[in-house]
């Protein structure tokens, strides 16, 4: 590979290498890493060079030659430029000074067009990989602490002038993801009903974005102007990232690291490790816990969406268990009120059980509270045999009477049937109305405690 007229001439039959380095790496250590990857025996035979960023080249002569890199000071300058610009280091070996420890009959193995496949040496951790490398593996079923170290994986997010978003919230979320990836922070100067304007938090920086509603009645926002180039110092820019809130981190985790799993077994420490390894951001346990909760809601659905899926769930139960009895009661506003389930296997086995049914209610501790009503009996081996379950809003007379009405379709009525419960007045009244022939008794343990 040689330099002609200020341009690089690449060997098209070779391949390139890439690895990560620290900001304070010494030049000698850098050369050793290169020689090790390329199997070069003599360190003095290696030469490095690079082209200045496009924004700098536009202000220079067209035949400007590549910049040589041969000392620790020059390497430090190159790494500083990498923090704001995308560049590559080109490696060459001086003739008759070094040799490779490979079979001479094999084709050389140094760099195809580096700009096309990131093959050039010097693609450090500031660089973003291609779209293909960012796709999570389809074989991943359940992430674990051992597999949650994707140092090569960075989710690509871009915005350009003319992009349309469904709303201002979607635009802000997109900006937050970009700020996490590129390690900067922005402040919102204007956030009105039909106007949005934000800029980099560093005074004087050129990064800014302006968007507005497409029309007076439309909720969609159009990016009118977007300047994605930073003119501020990288050290100051990297010092703050307040936009990485729990929702943003949770959404990025699902998109980049969940691997299609339901996040079962994932803990906040996994999210903290991913953000540290991939985006170099330190987050606290509380924020990671909130991000995990949001990620689980995205993958599994929220409590509210679970109620919307109830009709489908009940249909699937009856389809998989023919003979199952389910009943869903809605209120006047078409919202959830009562639920009853008696599985087919429990219904078929009840005639062979002792006809003494124990009924009780257990208060639920979920977001929407409620009470779970249970009817069970005892089998011939003195084991507990479940008959039916119900979910109601509380242990009042109307809820118990509705539950007993559905239960009667399963167990029937008669003088050979007995119910055991606590001394709740609503239970006594409802049993009398629904099971007039059945016997009723109080639980001895309940009487002893009360």
Over residues 333-365, the pLDDT tens digits come to 888 999 999 999 999 999 999 899 999 999 988
- What does the pLDDT read at residue 445? 63
Helix (H, G, I), strand (E, B) or coil at 195: strand
- What does the pLDDT read at residue 52? 75
- In sequence order, what are the beta bridge partners of 371? 363, 392
- What does the pLDDT read at residue 181? 87
CB of 356 closer than 8 Å to CB of 377: yes
Locate tokens 């003195």: which residue? 382
CB of 288 closer than 8 Å to CB of 248: no
CA angle 387, 304, 253 (to 5 degrees): 115
- What does the pLDDT read at residue 64? 67
Locate tokens 């910049």: which residue? 67
pLDDT tens per residue across span 85-120: 767 777 777 655 444 443 433 333 333 333 333 233
- What does the pLDDT read at residue 97? 46
Instruction: Classify residue 243 as exposed, middle or buried by CB count within 10 Å of its CB (0-12, 13-18, 19+).
Output: buried
- What does the pLDDT read at residue 356? 92
pTM score of the predicted model: 0.51
Instruction: Classify residue 90 as exposed, middle or buried by CB count within 10 Å of its CB (0-12, 13-18, 19+).
Output: buried
User: Would you put residue 57 in left (φ > 0), alpha (ψ -120 to 50) or beta?
Assistant: alpha
* Spans of the chain below 70 pLDDT: 1-20, 54-55, 57-65, 86, 94-157, 258-260, 444-450
CA dist list (Å): 5 to 9, 51, 61, 66, 93: 10, 12, 11, 10, 19
- What does the pLDDT read at residue 53? 73
- In sequence order, what are the beta bridge partners of 100? 40
Radius of gyration of the chain (CA): 34
How many angstroms separate the CA atoms of 241 and 273, rounded?
17
Number of Cβ within 10 Å of residue 305's Cβ equals 10
> In what helix (H) or strand (E) does residue 378 lie, and over which residues does it extend?
strand 371-378
Per-domain boundaries in the chain? 2-117, 164-300, 307-449
């Amino acid at each position: 590979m040689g330099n002609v007229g200020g341009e690089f001439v690449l060997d098209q039959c070779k391949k390139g290498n890439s690895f990560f380095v620290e900001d304070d790496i010494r030049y000698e250590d850098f050369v050793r890493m290169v020689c090790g990857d390329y199997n070069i025996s003599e360190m003095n035979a290696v030469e490095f060079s690079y082209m200045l960023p496009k924004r700098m080249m536009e202000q220079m002569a067209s035949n400007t030659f590549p910049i040589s890199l041969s000392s620790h000071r020059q390497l430090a300058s190159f790494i500083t430029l990498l923090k704001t610009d995308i560049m590559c280091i080109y490696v060459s070996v001086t003739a008759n000074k070094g040799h490779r420890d490979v079979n001479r009959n094999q084709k050389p193995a140094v760099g195809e067009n580096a700009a096309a496949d990131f093959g050039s040496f010097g693609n450090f951790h500031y660089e973003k990989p291609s779209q293909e490398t960012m796709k999570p593996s389809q074989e991943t079923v359940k992430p674990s602490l051992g597999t949650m170290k994707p140092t090569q994986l960075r989710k690509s997010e871009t915005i350009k002038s003319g992009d349309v978003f469904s709303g201002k919230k979607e635009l802000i979320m997109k900006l937050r993801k970009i700020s996490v990836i590129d390690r900067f922070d922005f402040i919102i100067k204007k956030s009105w009903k039909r106007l949005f304007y934000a800029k980099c938090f560093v005074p004087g920086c050129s990064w800014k974005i302006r968007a507005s509603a497409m029309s007076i009645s439309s909720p969609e926002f159009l990016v009118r102007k977007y300047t994605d180039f930073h003119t501020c110092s990288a050290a100051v820019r990297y010092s703050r990232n307040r936009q990485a809130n729990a929702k943003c981190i949770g959404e990025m985790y699902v998109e980049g690291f969940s691997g299609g799993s339901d996040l079962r077994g994932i803990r906040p420490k996994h999210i903290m490790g991913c953000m540290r390894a991939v985006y170099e951001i330190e987050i606290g346990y509380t924020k990671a816990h909130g991000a995990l909760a949001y990620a689980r809601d995205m993958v599994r659905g929220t409590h509210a969406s679970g109620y919307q899926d109830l009709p489908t769930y009940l249909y699937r139960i009856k389809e998989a268990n023919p003979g199952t009895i389910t009943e869903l009661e809605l209120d006047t506003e078409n919202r959830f009120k009562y639920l009853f389930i008696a599985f087919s296997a429990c219904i078929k086995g009840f005639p062979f059980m002792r006809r003494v049914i124990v009924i009780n209610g257990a208060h639920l501790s979920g977001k929407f509270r409620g009470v779970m009503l249970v009817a069970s009996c005892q089998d011939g081996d003195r084991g507990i045999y479940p008959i039916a379950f119900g979910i109601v809003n509380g242990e009042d007379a109307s809820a118990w009477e509705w539950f007993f009405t559905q239960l009667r379709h399963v167990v029937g009525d008669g003088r050979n049937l007995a119910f055991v419960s606590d001394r709740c007045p609503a239970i006594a009244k409802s049993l009398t109305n629904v099971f007039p022939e059945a016997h009723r008794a109080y639980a001895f343990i309940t009487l002893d405690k009360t």
